[in-house]
A and B are shown apart, each in its own frame.
Chain A
Amino acid sequence: MSTTIEQTRALPTGTWTADTVHSSLSFEVPYAVATFSGAVTDFEVALEDGTLAGSARIASLKVKDEALQAHLASPEFFDAERHPELRFVSTAIRRDGDSVEIDGDLTLKGISKPVTLRGTVTGPAVDHFGATRLGLALQTTIDRTEFGMSWNMPLPNGEPALANEVTLKADLTLVGA
């Protein structure tokens, strides 16, 4: 029984690497009257002996419009030329049953800030090829202006078009070594 309790209080030990085909790193930000979203496709994430760490290439950031993508890569936003990567390294992981909270340092545009990712844990479970998979669905909200991204444009009513609060989402399928 003690094993069961330990499993619901911590993430499994060992090395777990993200299957990037079945994982996504995305953002959502309120823009005008709706939500603007995008995702990075070139990234790696691993959970290794209780530390979750990952990095992603800003050049792989995809949104639905080429011009917007160029704007996001520009110095007004990510400045992809000077800061080609974003990074996260956890400092503490707290699990309670299916819920998890992960403290860590997020580095965006060369600026590191502590953040807490919150979400759920699924598994570990054995897939149809015999590999053991662990699911982590995490998200946090950051203030983009704290990471040097303060662009905005007023709407006709005087309100800023783009919100400062951005939701970052990580939907991870981690495969055990």
Chain B
Amino acid sequence: MRVLAISGSLRRGSHNAALLRAAAEEAPRGVDVRLWNGLREIPPYDADDDVVPGPPAVEELRAAVRAADAVLIATPEYNASVPGALKNALDWASRPLATNAFRNKPVAVIGSSTGAFGAVWSQAELRKVLATMGARVVDAELAVGHAQEKLDADGRVVDDEVRDSLREVLQLLEAEVAPALVAA
């Protein structure tokens, strides 16, 4: 199973990118978690530019999503919602809606924040957006609060509970992908 991992944060020391790196380390045999790092290159959505093909960075994202069996998104929370850059990238990826790359794609949403709640509101909004796009949003929950306490000086997730949860999220994604593989 190929999993495209998308961090909603652009920050160099992003806790959410760290979560995704930890997910890649915890991935069981046969699960390949690849981080996508093109978020910064995605231009602001403009319907005037929404032609075929779209901007190169957008087409790269769409191709990466199509090539993946599943997508794992780790998001921070900005003002109780999804960071603009991440939402913007999804808005591009959702076009055209009926045939967009996320349609029927198993997607898990996780998140972390330095506050106590681990980006739960942002995660909820992100799941709503993804479901509207036609994604197969899996019932996975991982909200990592006080994120700075769960990482070591090198930005590596050292909290065993978080690492266990990441394995569970990947298992849920695998279970969601499996029926489609059988049916194909």
Quick check: is A82 within 8 A (CB to CB) of the other chain? yes
Quick check: is A73 within 8 A (CB to CB) of the other chain? yes
**Given contact pairs A67-B98, A70-B97, A70-B98, A76 touches B131 in the complex (Cβ within 8 A):** yes
Quick check: is B170 within 8 A (CB to CB) of the other chain? no
**Given contact pairs A66-B97, A66-B98, A82 touches B134 in the complex (Cβ within 8 A):** no
Which residues on B sit within 8 Å (CB–CB) of A76?
Answer: 131-132, 134
Q: Is the Cβ of B131 less than 8 Å from the Cβ of A74? A: yes
Task: Count CB-based A-B contacts (< 8 Å).
Answer: 35
Give the contact-size bracket for chain A.
10 to 19
Interface string of A54-91 (1 = CB under 8 A from B): 00000000000011011101111000011000000000
**Given contact pairs A70-B134, A82-B179, A75 touches B104 in the complex (Cβ within 8 A):** yes
Q: Output the nearest chain A residue to B100 by Cβ-Cβ distance.
A: A70
A71, A75, A151: which contacts B136 (Cβ < 8 A)? A75
B residues with CB within 8 A of A: 97-99, 103-104, 131-137, 179-180, 183
- A62 CB to closest chain B CB (Å) equals 13
A residues with CB within 8 A of B: 66-67, 69-71, 73-76, 81-82, 151
Q: What are 25 pairs between A and B in contact, CB < 8 Å? A: A66-B97, A66-B98, A67-B97, A67-B98, A70-B97, A70-B134, A71-B97, A71-B132, A71-B134, A74-B103, A74-B104, A74-B131, A74-B132, A74-B133, A74-B134, A75-B131, A75-B134, A75-B136, A75-B137, A76-B131, A76-B132, A81-B104, A81-B180, A82-B179, A82-B183
- A10 CB to closest chain B CB (Å) equals 41
Q: Is the Cβ of B179 less than 8 Å from the Cβ of A69? A: no
Q: Output the nearest chain A residue to B183 by Cβ-Cβ distance.
A: A82
Bound-state Cα–Cα, A150 to B161, Å:
32
Q: Output the nearest chain B residue to A66 by Cβ-Cβ distance.
A: B98
Contacts A67-B97, A74-B104, A75-B131 known; list 5 others, CB within 8 Å. Answer: A74-B131, A75-B104, A75-B135, A75-B136, A81-B180
Which residues on B sit within 8 Å (CB–CB) of A70?
Answer: 97-99, 103, 134
Q: Is the Cβ of B137 less than 8 Å from the Cβ of A69? A: no
Q: Output the nearest chain A residue to B132 by Cβ-Cβ distance.
A: A71
